[in-house]
Amino acid sequence: MLISCGIAAILGGGACDKDPAPECQATYEHLLVLAKRHPDAGLMQRFVTACRESFDPERLSCIREAKTAGEALACKPVRKRPS
C-alpha cells in the first residue's frame, strides 16, 4: 500500500489523498447555517457525494469563509468538474 501511494504521488495521482468527506460535510453544515435551514440526511448525502466527485478545496474554503448566502453563491469553481 505504501509503495502504491508513493507511486501515485510521483505520477500525480490522487488515489492516496485523504478523504474529502469531512470537509464536504463541514461545508454543507455551514451552508445550512447561512440558509437558516434544518439538516436533511438525504440532501447531505447527495451534497457530500457530489462534493467528493468534484472536490475543489479552494471553493469549499471560500464557501466556509462566507458570511452570507450571497457570498457563498459567489464562490466559483477553481477546478474543472470531471466529465
Average pLDDT over residues 6-32: 72
Domain definitions of the chain by residue range: 18-73
Average pLDDT over residues 57-76: 95
N-to-C CA span, the chain: 28
Average pLDDT over residues 47-70: 94
DSSP letter for 80, please. Answer: P
Identity at 60, one-letter amino acid code = L
pTM: 0.71
Tell which residue, 1, 2, 76, 68, has the closest CA to residue 30: 68
d(CA 14, CA 30): 26
